Structure 1
Amino acid sequence: MAQWYAVYTRPCWEKKVAESFQKRRMECYLPLNKVLVPSTYSERRKPVYQPLFEACVFVKTTEDKLPLIRSLDGVLSFFYWHGKPATIRDIEIEMIKRFTAEHQSVTLIKSAVSIGEIVRIINVDPEESAPGAWGQKVKLSLPSLGFVLEAEATETIPEPISAEELNLSTTLA
């Protein structure tokens, strides 16, 4: 059965490694962070897309293809957990995709691998909220990777949900 694995790449090779996976028809995911940077020719800020996780690409594959992946140009290793390549749950990949689609200038924070509250991000009508209520931080805990994603909440607020609502048979621990 195919599972998600996190692959360490050479520095600044994330896009090349992702392209290599795509050429081999392997499902991969390179989370990109939209960051607004000042334009050199005007006062406007332009969006730039940078890899969210430095030197990391996610690939969905079977265990028997891991030696092939390790041999690809630009791949250094896998993330390991208890001496084996760490697997990442589908739900965590989906949560990263959704978080990066809804937020920009995401900060990646290294954290201890611990259980956190699972949240659902819901849209809010800004006219219904009090002036100045925005500017709060939205965080997404990724226990299997040991990271927290953090961004400014501008148009959404978190609402707690249970693991049962996600149809998970186990908790994210």
Structure 2
Amino acid sequence: MPWFVICTKFKSEFKVAETLENNGFEVYCPSIISTRQWSDRKKRVKTPLFNSFVFINIAENSREKVFEFINNSRYLFWLRKPAVVRDSEIEVLKEWMSNDQVDEARVSAISAGDKIIIANGNFKEQEAVVKEIGKQRMKLILPLLGFTINVKIKEIL
């Protein structure tokens, strides 16, 4: 059976995972322990690695059964089809998360203003600042060269 991605309301990932697990579904919600700073104290808090995402291992024809147990959630779609995560990817994620050396981690998307290093293409290993992001192209500012370039997203990853 494939793994699908359920999009949940913010900060309800653990509740959705627990509800589905208690109803017999195989779910995975990777979490990390992070240190949060308040004005008077520091506290270690368990947070989901992927905000608003829970992975569920379920047959394609049984996907709708999930909504009998949870509300205000939906499946993540990619190219008009439910996003599928391979078993091998979930296993790698589980193995990485079980590693004792993993203390804090963050998953975030690239956004305007981020500094990146270009991995491929003519400007390989150049530092750049993201100016705009489109579906297939991205505008980057190259501070060392003093100009802006328009590159395909696959060239920088």
Q: TM-score under structure 1 normalisation? A: 0.55
Tell me the secondary structure at the aligned position of residue 108 of structure 1. coil
Count of residue pairs brought into register by the alignment: 109
Distance in 2, matches of 1:36 and 1:92, equals 27
Q: Shift in Å at residue 93 of structure 1?
A: 0.9
Which residue number in structure 2 is paired with residue 134 of structure 1?
A: none
**Structure 2 residue corresponding to 1:59, chosen from 47, 56, 74:** 56
* Cα deviation digits, residues 108-161 of structure 1 (max 9, x gap): 0326xxxx9xxxxxxxxxxxxxxxxxxxxxxxxxxxxxxxxxxxxxxxxxxxxx
Return the offset for 1:72.
3.3
8 Å contact kept, 1:17–1:74: no
The DSSP-based 3-state class of the residue aligned with 1:110 is coil
Match of 1:92 in 2: 89
Alignment of 1:92-171 (within 5 A): 92-102=89-99, 103-110=102-109
1:79 aligns with 2:85: no
How do residues 14-53 of structure 1 correspond to structure 2 at under 5 angstroms?
14-38=13-37, 46-53=43-50
**Aligned-pair distance for 1:99?**
2.2
Deviation digits for residues 93-113 of structure 1, max 9, x if unmatched?
1122222233122010326xx
Where 2:97 maps in the other structure, the secondary structure is helix
SS in 2 for 1:37: strand
**Partner of 2:73: helix, strand, or coil?**
strand
Query: Quick one: distance in 2 between partners of 1:35 and 1:3?
Result: 30
Q: Which runs of 4+ in 1 moved over 2 A?
A: 36-42, 70-75, 98-102
Q: Distance in 2 between matches of 1:74 and 1:52?
A: 22
Alpha-carbon offset, residue 46 of structure 1: 4.5
- Contact 1:13–1:74 (8 Å) recurs in 2: no
| Secondary structure, aligned partner of 2:34 | strand
The offset of 1:57, in angstroms, is 0.5
Q: Gapped runs of 5+ residues in structure 1?
A: 117-173
Deviation at 1:69, TM superposition (A): 1.5
Q: Is the 8 A contact 1:7 1:75 kept in 2?
A: no
Q: Report deviation, 1:40.
A: 7.5
In 2, Cα distance between the equivalents of 1:63 and 1:85? 9
Structure 2 gaps, min length 5: 111-118, 120-157
